Structure 1
Amino acid sequence: MAKRKMAKGKGGPKGKKITLKIAKNAIRLTFDGKRRLDLSKMGIAAMPKCLLKLSDVEELDLSRNQLRKVPDWIQRFQNLRLLDLHSNLIEKLPESIGELQALLHLNVSNNKLTTKGLPMELSQLKNLRQLNLGLNFINMLPTTLGALKELKEVGLFDNHLTSVPTSILQLPKLKKLNAKRNPIPATDEELEAEEQETIRRVEALCLVNEKDLCSPCAAKCQEEKNKMSNLKSMVTPVMRRSIFTNLVTPNSTAKESQAEWR
């Protein structure tokens, strides 16, 4: 008996149990009359199969839970236009996610996704408008994401990327691409802006008559001037396309509302 009890508890806490009744009561109508199943912040550790009874909803919000896995049967939600899974513990997306052909918005930011956790089937989401992969552990993006010709907004911030595939940068309808806080080499434009700012700061330091400076200060000012004269020859341009670094980063963990990514 003791052994059986230990085996039963081995799996640890299962999270909050969601019944069909609880799920039905969590359905809300959006401003445009779509049905939104909102189970965010419920302490859910696994998606309950009872949700299959509600697979005709248009929006599914399971954000801010403890989910580690998205089940293969997510493909049954054929009417989904929005799937919000941000702020969970998800390490991998299922291949079946590519069958959600009606999906317009996919938010999986602030999870534990790696490059291996991004299935090639993501490229089958031909109607996708917004994709948020920020705050994960991704070091390389599949070039096949360039097949998502309807994409308008892509969030890649706070990952381990060293580059963004050209196929994504050249998406025909892309308006916003946020790749801030990745180890991506600086662009020519960023290097030039940094150079101009350095020149401005040095010039501001030198807006006094040299005769009014003490000897050490005059020497320091001359040293900075000499550095400026050599700066351009020291800068090595990085031949790479701009990645729109001026865009605002949506903070899924700090904001209660994710409206701008939906």
Structure 2
Amino acid sequence: MRATIKSSDCVSSEISGEHFIYEHTFFFVKEGTTKCYDGNKMHTFKSGDFGLIRKNRLSKYSKEKNSQAKTTFIILDEMFLKKFQERYASGIVAFRSNETFMHIPKNELLTNFIRSLIPYYNSAGKIDETFADLKREELLLILLKLKPELSGLFFDYGIPDKINLEAFMNKNFMFNVNIERFAYLTGRSLSAFKRDFKIIFNETPNRWLIKKRLKEAYFLIEKKNKKPSDIYLDLGFETLSHFSTAFKKQFSISPATLLNRKERI
């Protein structure tokens, strides 16, 4: 079972990642600075900040180089939220924000809540599920007291609506998630996604994604003088060697050679 309350303490020269957000997640930055990208804009969370990540969204994140990153994550999964709503008969207030990452204003109740978690952590930085549900209920009561409109977010159990596939893919092509996930996020079955994709782009999703990412890579190297090692992860490639091979196959020149050619001009 995945821990629902976890403290992540790590030291690294650079920590970055990419995720599909499965469940609403509350977090507290104990130390360091984290930058989060949602496909539209960058959000910065610093030491002492509280935040909320919306489920069914895509995200990229990075943490400052040569810094110690310490963050507490609390997952508010759908099963827990349904039990909470039933127990407390919580009403629903309309929630109008479309942000993936939300800053929660600093508050003494939240500060004291985070402090109250300390005695419950085990050596792995997790809290036993016996206590985790009680502490999550406490957190949710605090959040709804501070921002009643969050009920419209937490207690909405619907799946993503069908949206404009072309606009979504042109905005999110750099996220390294599978085709099934893209289909889900656009409100389609896998078969419907592939059918609509072929109609719109006249190409299969996998081939289109590779070509789109490589085209962006060529632009960044040729026009922005970006190093291949600095961009391949951001463009959705898992390894530099895979990126370089695909790039050379597409353009008959390696990304390193293109960069060196630009630097000599």
TM-score range, shorter chain: under 0.3
Higher RCO, Cα 8 Å, sep 6+? 2
Larger radius of gyration: 1
TM-score (norm 2): 0.23
